Structure 1
Amino acid sequence: MGARYGTHDTVQQPWLLKTLRPRPAPVPRAAMARASVALSVPLAAGLAAGHLEYGAVISMGALSGVIGDTADAYRMRVFNIAVPQLFGALGVTLGSLVYGEGWLAVVALTLVALVSGMVSSIGAVASVSGLLLLLNAVVGAGLPLPAPWWKAPVLLGVGGAFVLLLTLLAWPLRGRVPERAAVADTYRSVAALLEAAGTAAYDEKRQAVTGSLNTSYDLVLARRVRDHGRRTPLVRLLAQLNVLVPLLEAAPAAHLCGRPLPDAVPAAARELAGAVEAGRTGAGTDLALPPPGTAAERAVDHALRCAADVVLSPDPDPHNVDDRLGRPAAFGVRTRRVTRGVLLSAASWRYGLRLALCIGLAQALVSLVPVPRSYWVALTVTFVLKPDFGSVFSRAVMRAVGTAGGLLVAAVVLAEVPPGWWDVPVMAVLATLIPAFSARGYAFQTAAVTPVILLLSDILNHQGFGLVLPRLVDSLIGCAIALVAGYLLWPESWHTRVGDRLADAVADAAHYVEVAFDESADQARRARLRRRLYRDLSDVRSEFQRALTEPPPVGARAAAWWPVVVAVERVVDATTAARIRVGQGAASPAADEVALVTRQLRELADGLRESETLTEVRTDPGGDEGSVLAPVRREVASARAVASPTR
């Protein structure tokens, strides 16, 4: 069964080795250049003006902007950089006001941690904003920043604004390039999927399509919510995305035929990708496709030609674009809804209290034990306990390893580089490593950020090489606090019910089977449901990937259930393929056959919810092998068999 469902070598690796292995990623040359300029120029300006400490604080603000600049579309990048900077300015102001105040600083930072943790649960931008609120409060309470109190937030804001300026320099030339490039990449991923039809690589390519489609919709719809015109470039991009739906529905049918599609089919999809990226229209719709030989090939052929009509049409119908957004709620309504959700959410309060407890312990410890400049303990706790960054346990391990590696670099810099103008070229080099290493994994990002922060800290407190060993000790203390007070004391951490999300996905798959063969349901509803289901399964995969980095028993349980995730995806594929066959003229399945399949899926979902171990739910698929639901029944039976131990 393992060969059929591809449990993947990554699942079988030891959890610690998997955690520390670098992820493959392209080299972000533009981001590296921006980081180099953003962090080194303020130091040079500060030296020239005779206020190096001002330059160091501006570089700290720029560092936050560099780390937060993770979006592709320019409008989202403005939002991702500017909003967190406001929270960061508030945080450093609060921290500066309690600098050197002992237990008052403990209370203040504990309350800031509670608010930061609760704010972080709202969304991605709010998460970064909450992070900067707490980080800058810790820095303000632990480092001697320039007086008076308002100067530090202003200087940090200047650093963030500098990064934003560097980021937006190319906007006039590339304003719509990220969205168009994302849609073109989605077309290329679909071409790779069609090329893999009938081969063992199909499942992997379909996962890549899901991720690419998620990214494209997120980018386009993020701008579409502010742009309701009917004849804008966004309408074209949205139409080009929506027309992929029939092609993605036809792909599983082609795959289940068991033979590769003609080479001209993926080549045609790549040709459309090139047209999308270049914004090319009016070139005709003759894709030189071979005559289709099977019902599945006819579905693919028809979907490709429809996609070509939309991609190459000079003016797609603006009234035939379903952007799935509806009318946005008024700003005040959205604000009240978000505020109510944060204040009433049990998960929000749990994370806020967990973070507040750990920060309070860290600050209380350094207040009781005379450790100079020990803000690094609380910084370590903050980074390790970031909820949407993955496993707390693995992050503590990666933080310790990354800090040790970064301190080796910092030791050489602080010992061998004389302070002054030499700091500028050294910072220019070290800054390039941050975007280059960040995509490789958290340990690598930590190793890149550590020497930069230490160099900036040395400019402010002039400890030189003496910073290195205390920072290592502080990091280990922070990791220990996070592991004990933020992980071991909370049973939900090490008794994670990874099966709950999977059970919800299985239940949604049962609903999809019902809707797929409900003749009263329109095609748009089926497409939206299938799209949402694949997105949810992608989220389930991500959650399982995080769980796999946990130590046993959570990691072992996730590894045991991983084949079920793959099996459910195959059930959805088989259902889509069966629906395509019905659309091509095959007989619809009987109502009792559909009811049997949905009942078996719901039994599987109930079994996953009721037990933390795999349960016995085996069944014989049975039924008419000539029915369009026969492949679905086989996949459901296989999923239920995977979810039970071999006896």
Structure 2
Amino acid sequence: MTSEPRRLPVPSPAGPSRIGAVFGVARPRGRLRIALVCAIAFTVPLSVGELAGKPQAGLLATFGAFAAAYFPDATVAVRARALPVIGVGLAASAAIGVAAAGASWTIAVGISAVAAFATLLVRAFDVPAPGAYPFVLSCAVATQLPQDVERIGERAALTMAGAGFAWLLTICASLPDRRGPARRAAATALTSLATMLEAIGTPAYDSARHNAAQAVRHLRTVLGEGSGQGQGGQTLSAVAFGARHVFDAAVAYPTMTREPVPRALPETLRELAAGIQAGAGAIGADPAGQDQDRHDLPGVGTASSRARAGLWAAVAELAHPPPDRPTVPSLPPARAEWGRRLGRGSLAWPLAARAGLAGLVAAALAIAAGADHPYWAPAAAATVVQGTTVRAAGRRSLQRAAGTAVGVLVALGILSVQLPAWWLIAMIAVLEVGAQILMAANYALSTVLITPLALILVEFARPGTPPAELAAPRLLDTLLGCAVGLAVVLLLWPHAAERRLPGALADSLVATGDLLVLRLAATGEGAADAGGAPGVAGARERLEMAIARLTALHADAEDEQLRGTRAADLLWPAVVATRRLGYLVLADPAGLRGPPPAGPAAVRAAFQARADEITGHPVAGGDPMSALPAFTPLRTEFAALAEAVRTARSAGALPPPGQLS
């Protein structure tokens, strides 16, 4: 009989990212389609404007073409809904740029306001790259157009027309691959689950478990966005249900046994992932045929054997779903999360303030230095502060400065030849394709191409301007903006993520307690009051999002300090224990739902007390541990959390404890 497993040791934190990563080059994959779409979205409006004899009108429409670069990996349904919103934002940014074009100080204020507002929304709603920069660039280039306030509506309409064309082009290009996002998400989820199984019992398990949880949740998100049907009539919704079942069984497994996972299980998951990626559906090899011993488990009836059999069954049902296979329910709405994204404790606010202040200071310094068109400096500063931490901003400033320096030379070579407009349009297409492909490889490399692209667009706004008058200010203002942006990140709220980390720990604990109470009530007399299955589904969603937010915030906090002891490292054991508690309750292993000694309300109070202890709020007396169900893994992690909190507080990483009033 297998003895009860001990608690795994706390793994080492990932640690801060390295500034040297600025020189790393990744292999860009799957970017050709989006690169071609973006190139066409840029060049068609410019071509139409040139044919009509109104190149500036074509330039305004081109501002809307930036919308084609957003959400390249999302489903058709998501892009159909999101890109019009991006288009409206780009049109508003261009309109602000046109309105601000009268004087240097209005240009500074206009660009800074766009940078702050765009950063706020992009960060709050997790908008992927290119993030806030296209909005800032649209505003900056629009300031170079002749000021005509009476035609702002017309010019905004032209940008919206360009965004509408980009939307139509993007949707048409996405239709042939409309099932691709779901297939790729399913393959990623199964591969992540295989990695998680292989990591059981090793220091890499915590990280692999979190990655698998996020991959399974992403699959459910993609399916909820309207990409659920795979080839051959197979529904990937059943795969998502099976993947979540495998995840729950994989979390329960190490709580009951020390045995390693049989190699056949991760191999089966990888085979399934390869088949789904290739469009072959969910049918794969039967793990039972690869390990006949699973039917002859020692100690039948023990917790260890039940955990192993449950994991085998979960993988087997995923490989060969029954005829009446269930489908995964769509993710329930988490309205509280929308409020939290822009709530008082959201990290989006200090980041937006940084972007606005950096843009304003950079523009003011450029004006003081005598720049005739001080728009590149605030644009560069706003770009640098898109890096949320000191290290990220440092990498971005180095990449931006180096890429711009080389890109200016490229731009001088192109513009000094005095090419006809049609050749410039063709050059824009080539540069856009290259920039989009290199964006996934290295930001500095993409900036080498983005710089001449932006300068050629300015040439359409101010035709006939000598190349040196375009290129030299761009380089000097960019260097100024990079320096200002980095200084702002160093000086303003440099520990914004670290200070929000205790609150994220408390939120995760409260969400864990809420879900545990609902599960306990669902098996007792309080099932009706607990809200039934919908209540459990909503609580599970809130807990998954809280854990994801906690993990991302800790990664940011690790990157915020250049030297010395980081509070993020001191809080890491508490983060590990909190995540383990959360995933344990999410998995709902056998034995967890034992009757609590003092009832479900006392369980909620125990988790709330630990959360209050972390945030420094007054805590009532008593032993929270005594209120928990008699499930050893749960109590073990709860005790480890208490010890981690005491250690972190004694080291000064947590606020002092409050006094009971």
Taking the aligned partners of 1:103 and 1:35, their CA distance within structure 2 comes to 33
Which one of 215, 220, 229 corresponds to residue 217 of structure 1?
Answer: 220
How many Å separate the matches in 2 of 1:565 and 1:144? 55
* Partner residue, 2:470: 467
In structure 1, what is the Cα distance between the partners aligned to 2:20 and 2:602? 40
- Which letter maps to 1:240? V
Corresponding residue number in structure 1 for 2:544: 534
Using the size of structure 1 for normalisation, the TM-score is: 0.76
Q: Measured at CA, do residues 438 and 610 of structure 1 come closer, stay the same or move farther in structure 2, by a change above 3 Å?
A: farther
CA deviations over 1:373-400 (Å, ceiling 9, x no partner): 22112223433455xx623x44543343
Q: Letter of the aligned partner of 1:506 in structure 2?
A: L
Secondary structure of residue in 2 paired with 1:169: helix
Q: CA deviation at 1:571?
A: 3.1
Equivalence map 1:92-241=2 (5 Å): 92-103=94-105, 105=107, 123-124=125-126, 135-144=137-146, 152-153=155-156, 156-157=159-160, 159-223=162-226, 236-241=235-240
Cα offset, 1:503, TM superposition: 2.5
Question: Contact (CA 8 Å) 2:288, 2:316: kept in 1 or not?
Answer: no
Aligned residue for 1:255? 254
CA contact (8 A) 2:192 2:215 kept: yes
Residue number in structure 2 paired with 1:419: 418
Q: Distance in 1 between matches of 2:108 and 2:253?
A: 62
Q: Does residue 403 of structure 1 match 2:409?
A: no
Per-residue displacement from partner, 1:468-523 (whole Å, max 9, x unpaired)? 44223323433455456677355874873322212322333344455555532678
Cross-structure match for 2:439: 438
Task: Find the aligned partners of 1:306 and 1:478 in 2 and give their Cα distance.
Answer: 56
Equivalent-residue separation in structure 2 for 1:571 and 1:344 (angstroms): 26
- d(CA) in 2 for partners of 1:636 and 1:236? 39
1:599, 1:203 → 2: CA distance?
27
Deviation of residue 431 (structure 1)?
2.1
| 8 Å CA contact retained: 2:112, 2:378 | no
Q: Is the 8 A contact 2:71 2:128 kept in 1?
A: no
Does the 8 A contact of 2:374 with 2:477 survive in 1?
yes
Tell me which moved more, 83-92 or 487-496.
487-496
Aligned equivalents of 1:368 and 1:193: distance in 2?
57
Q: Percent identity?
A: 23
Give unpaired runs (5+ residues) of structure 2: 1-5, 298-304, 618-622, 652-661
Return the alpha-carbon distance in structure 1 between the equivalents of residues 215 and 162 of structure 2: 33
Structure 1 residues 457 and 235: CA distance shift in structure 2, 3 A? same
The answer to whether the 8 Å contact 1:403/1:446 transfers is yes
Amino acid at match of 1:582: G
- Where does 1:314-333 land on structure 2 (aligned, <5 Å)? 322-325=329-332
CA distance in 2, matches of 1:549, 1:437: 25
The structural deviation recorded for 1:371 is 0.8
2:200–2:261 CA contact under 8 A, matched in 1: yes
C-alpha change, 1:402 and 1:468, in structure 2 (3 Å) is: farther
Report the Cα offset of residue 73 of structure 1.
Answer: 0.5
Matched with 1:637 is 639
Of 27, 30, 38, the residue aligned with 1:28 is 30
AA paired with 1:323? Answer: S
Distance 2:214 2:342 in 1: 32
- Residues 296 and 72 of structure 1, relative CA distance in 2, 3 Å threshold: same
Per the TM alignment, residue 187 of structure 1 is displaced from its structure 2 partner at its CA by 2.8
Question: What is the CA-CA distance between 1:602 and the residue it aligns to?
Answer: 5.1
**In 1, distance between residues paired with 2:115 and 2:397?**
22
Segment of structure 1 superposing worse, 448-457 or 477-486:
477-486
**AA of the residue aligned to 1:174:** D
Query: Following TM superposition, by how much is the alpha carbon of 1:158 offset from its aligned partner in structure 2, in angstroms?
Result: 5.0
Who is 2:10 aligned against? Answer: 5
Partner of 1:615: none
> Which amino acid counterpart does residue 95 of structure 1 have in structure 2?
G
Q: Deviations over 1:402-447 (max 9, x none)?
A: 2222223323313333231654565444323433343356666555
> Does residue 74 of the first structure (1) align with residue 76 of the second (2)?
yes
Deviations 1:195-217 (A, max 9, x none): 43344443232222122123222
The answer to whether the Cα contact below 8 Å between 1:84 and 1:126 also exists between their aligned partners in 2 is: no
Higher mean C-alpha displacement, 167-176 vs 81-90: 167-176
| AA in 1 matched with 2:178 | G
Matched, 1:609 2:606: no
Q: How many residues align?
A: 612
Distance 1:216 1:157 in 2: 32
What corresponds to 1:296 in structure 2?
A: 307
1:543 pairs with one of 537, 553, 557:
553
CA shift for structure 1 position 263 = 3.0
Structure 1 distance, partners of 2:446, 2:12, is: 29
Q: Which sits farther off after the overlay, 126-135 or 188-197?
A: 126-135
Question: Which range moves more in the overlay, 257-266 or 525-534?
Answer: 525-534
CA offset at residue 35 of structure 1?
3.7
TM-score by structure 2 length? 0.74
Alpha-carbon contact 2:80-2:167 (below 8 Å) kept: yes
Equivalent in 566, 571, 590 of residue 561 of structure 1:
571
Instruction: Map 1:268-417 to 2 at 5 A.
Output: 268-273=268-273, 288=288, 290=292, 291-292=294-295, 293=297, 294-308=305-319, 310=321, 313=323, 322-325=329-332, 357-366=357-366, 369-386=369-386, 390-391=388-389, 393-394=390-391, 396-417=393-414
CA distance in 2, matches of 1:633, 1:468: 64
| Closer, same or farther: CA 588–493 of 1 in aligned 2, 3 Å | closer
Q: 1:360 to 1:497 in 2, by over 3 A?
A: same
Provide the secondary structure at the position in 2 that maps to 1:431: helix
Q: Which residue of 1 aligns with 2:657?
A: none
